[in-house]
Structure 1
């Protein structure tokens, strides 16, 4: 199904260049496509400053929500995204037999709605005495402009299944419930 993505899709131009280099024999390409990564990376790359210890989506939503003192989402939060723990996402790279066009591997072990994430952020804000309600609210147009430059990417769907990764022996262990349980720690980290 990845072949059905238009060449104009975000990041697709890079994928196509890498696959072309594989086809021409310059490299053997393996592209691991993580979903919403959660958890804190702790490794030598983080220690050396080459890698961030946190991902993007949940820390961003946490920062936006801390600023407004209320868990937030784009629209109704019904959109779905897959998720994978940082320790699980690193394991497919050690067992990648297919390369080139057969070398795309999705890292996911469940999916969540952005409403669920907003709700977990709300609960964390209450526990930290920052917020007062356990129901997330939609970001206003003004807030979206402030936080994302008006972009609504956090209201889009991003759906994928790691079937190829699993077919070669990848065995993720963390679940969506683990991701939701980790959000309080992300909010605490962002709060400082």
Structure 2
């Protein structure tokens, strides 16, 4: 019997592409804003269905969630409270302990930047206590400071877990690479850094530039979505509290990058491709960064630390990142794309 799957979001474009390609016989419903956006998706996936609306259209989201066996929520999922609440209501309305609904929720390891954020640290090296292991430190993760980014929504998702509603939270770090869904295929952090550099003529580095973020290629994240999706229908896994439930936090880092080094890589590639003759590195404060051309609020993360250790996905799902291209090699493509978009 075909599963009914409700999907939202850009990363959902890649998540959906991976899940769809693995299970083309399922009944898929996608949340899109309007028919024009739906048409782009329809051309690639002619059998999918659509519901039209935004994340504040809670009645639409609730109804779609109530009809779905699995909800894959990635559209501003880490920070949008009304849509998360609507999904809970829908899953609770449409499922029972005998036939539970599954919720694959996208959060992010931006939540791990909380210490730097609360303590006003800018571009400083990570402290040992800022590293979180997704199995050994699960109690620390479940009880993170309430001032942490995404924390309010994560708490809502965790509280929703019950015999009728089974939850899992995916927490990717910095995502790089080109998405495989229709429409927008770009990630955020590195393109934002490239934008600011191209527009300002220098590569901004927050503070001392010693902070670090973990990273993962978007295709590896798509593969993790598939493995977690498959687990919803595997009796040996879908009752395992280490996969679905409050313990089901899945980190997915492949490696670690330093933002001064990635800024240097951006500057080098811009010069190599001939867009600017000289691209110096300039150290700035968070306040100064907000005034730069091309700034996006996500750029605040460029000055904080996010350090996670992933074992849960490999231990319980057999996931292992393959990293199709390195994060450094991805910079070259991002520079080319963003320069063309800016008309350079």
Shared fold by TM > 0.5? yes
Q: 5+ unaligned residues in a row in structure 2: which ranges?
A: 1-136, 229-236, 238-242
Secondary structure of 2:291's aligned partner: helix
Provide the C-alpha distance between the structure 1 equivalents of 2:250 and 2:284, rounded to a whole number of angstroms. Answer: 33
Q: TM-score under structure 1 normalisation?
A: 0.85
List aligned pairs for 1:119-158, cutoff 5 A.
119-133=264-278, 136-139=281-284, 141-146=287-292, 147-148=295-296, 152-158=300-306
Please give the TM-score of this superposition, normalised by the length of structure 2: 0.49
CA distance in 1, matches of 2:327, 2:268: 14
Cα distance between partner residues in 2 of 1:71 and 1:77: 11
From 321, 335, 338, the counterpart of 1:172: 321
Deviation at 1:153, TM superposition (A): 3.0
Question: Which digits, 9 at most, give the CA deviation of each residue in 1:95-123, with x for residues without a partner?
Answer: 34411212110111010000121011011
Match in the other structure for 2:41: none
Question: In the alignment, does 2:175 pair up with 1:29?
Answer: no
Deviation at 1:148, TM superposition (A): 4.8
User: Is the CA contact 1:82–1:112 (under 8 Å) kept in the aligned structure 2?
Assistant: yes
Contact 2:210 2:259 in 1 (8 A): yes
Deviation of residue 173 (structure 1)? Answer: 1.0
Cα distance in 2 between the residues matched to 1:63 and 1:89:
24
Q: Which residue of 2 aligns with 1:188?
A: 336
**CA distance in 1: counterparts of 2:300 and 2:219, whole angstroms:** 28
Higher strand share: 2
1:134, distance to aligned residue in structure 2 (A): 6.4
Over the residues paired in the alignment, what is the CA RMSD in angstroms? 2.1
Q: Number of paired residues?
A: 183
Q: CA deviation at 1:179?
A: 0.6
Aligned to 2:190: 58
Q: Which residue of 1 aligns with 2:261?
A: 116
What does residue 41 of structure 1 align with? 179
1:40 aligns to what SS in structure 2?
A: coil
Deviations 1:62-109 (A, max 9, x none): 101111122222112110000000100112223344112121101110
Q: How far is the alpha carbon of 1:54 from its aligned partner?
A: 1.2
Give the greater-gyration-radius structure (CA). 2
Structure 1 position 80 matched with structure 2 position 212: yes
The CA deviation string for residues 126-153 of structure 1, in whole angstroms up to 9 with x for no partner, is 012233446522236444333257x743
Report the secondary structure of 2:190's partner residue.
helix
> What is the alpha-carbon distance in structure 1 between the residues aligned to residue 207 and residue 186 of structure 2?
25
